[in-house]
Amino acid sequence: MDDTSQLPDLDDLLERMHVVAIPLDTRFRGQTVRELALFDGPRGWTEFSPFPEYGDAEASSWLRAAVDFGWHELPAAREGCTSIRVNATLPAVPADDVERVLARYDGCRTVKVKVAERGQTLDDDIARVRRARELLGAEGRVRIDANGGWNIDEAEHAIRSLAEFDLEYVEQPCASVEELVEIRERVGESLGIPIAADESVRKAEDPIAVARAGAADLIVVKAQPLGGVARALGIVAEAGLPAVVSSALESSVGIAMGAHLAAALPELDYDCGLATVDLFTGDVVAPGESLVPRGGTIPVERPRVDPALLETHRATDARRQWWAERVTRTHAHLAR
């Protein structure tokens, strides 16, 4: 969407905007309530939900994605692809809470376990991963996500300590591309555990740098942070690496964007991190239509937003004004 003629007028965006605040079931990324801006676009509902701390330049990619999904035609899905297999997401909860959290994910054969949480220890991570492996059994798939929280030595020690749980891959063990290169050399080949890059793709000025440096075996792509479905597909094609699609703690509307991205990938070898609606205590679509996993999958469709739920979760007028000002600034950034 580099052609600004494709960008809706600001007044049109603001007229179509609804802002909601939905409590989370479990603290996630330091948040207990998630605020989202939704637009009733010409092609269907779409979502703009960059995290509050993100600056306008970074948030503008999220607005680009929202416009792309709500105003423009989407790339075609793979032939016959009508649903996407998804993984459970396990926040950095105590081991005693693992079973309760995973019980919400119907039929999921894969779990992504958050590790390297600030204020916790490696022993906490080991206990959490061990419990997840016990519940999934030998045939289940366990992957871990450190969100760049380890330095190289910490990452090597942690990965070696967790390797006994047959990890599918380790996501973003370290923050920088250079660190990912080294940790992949230290443990990737010797342990046979793939290294995945997330933040090094979606938060990078050059999202292909991680592939060019040989820093990862696969990449994690998210539709909103990368500017929409078409742009994310282009990044995957240029990177030339296997991809897994993940979400950014979105409502069913944002999850639908991710599902359409996953369906449009030429190949998809991994279960996708698109089951995060289960981390909310509510949604903006009716419970029977919410994009939560059923039998381990979610459908590739646009959910219908329920006006009553928009009202139930309506944000305060002050917060709506905050989001209106944010949309105004990011719209101006895209229009330059």
- Can 114 be counted among the known catalytic residues? yes
Residues 6+ apart with CB under 8 A from 304: 45, 285, 286, 289
Residues 6+ apart with CB under 8 A from 136: 109, 111, 142
- Can 222 be counted among the known catalytic residues? yes
Query: Mean pLDDT throughout 101-110?
Result: 95
Neighbour tally for 86: CB within 10 Å: 32
Q: How far apart are CA 291 and CA 256, in angstroms?
A: 8
Query: Mean pLDDT throughout 225-235?
Result: 97
The string of DSSP codes covering 252-310 is HHHHHHHHHHHHHSS---S-BB--GGGGBS--SB-GGGS---BTTEEESS-PPB-HHHH
How confident is the model over 252-267, as pLDDT tens digits?
999 999 999 999 999 9
What pLDDT was estimated at residue 198? 96
Residue 25 among known ligand-binding residues:
no
Q: How far apart are CA 218 and CA 195, in angstroms?
A: 7
Structural domains of the chain sorted by starting position, each given as residue range(s) with its CATH number in brackets = 4-75+308-335 (3.30.390.10), 83-305 (3.20.20.120)
Residue 156 among known ligand-binding residues:
no
For residue 97, pLDDT over 80 is answered with: yes
What pLDDT was estimated at residue 279? 86
What pLDDT was estimated at residue 60? 97
For residue 27, pLDDT over 90 is answered with: no
Query: Mean pLDDT throughout 131-135?
Result: 98
Among the listed residues 40, 34, 46, 37, the one whose alpha carbon sits nearest the alpha carbon of residue 1: 46
How confident is the model over 178-188, as pLDDT tens digits?
999 999 999 97
What pLDDT was estimated at residue 1? 45
For residue 11, pLDDT over 90 is answered with: yes
Q: Which of 114, 131, 143, 331 is catalytic?
A: 114
Report whether 235 contacts 207 (CB < 8 A): yes
Whole-number mean pLDDT of the chain? 95
Radius of gyration for the chain, computed over Cα atoms and rounded to the nearest angstrom = 19
For residue 3, pLDDT over 80 is answered with: no
Q: Which one-letter DSSP state was computed for residue 125?
A: H
Among the listed residues 72, 55, 75, 76, the one whose alpha carbon sits nearest the alpha carbon of residue 7: 72
Q: Which one-letter DSSP state was computed for residue 71?
A: H
For residue 5, pLDDT over 70 is answered with: no
What percent of the chain is predicted at pLDDT more than 70? Answer: 98
At 26, is the secondary structure helix, strand, or coil? strand
Q: Which of 131, 141, 222, 326 is catalytic?
A: 222
How confident is the model over 138-180, as pLDDT tens digits?
999 999 999 999 999 999 999 999 999 999 999 999 999 999 9
Residue 171 among known ligand-binding residues:
yes
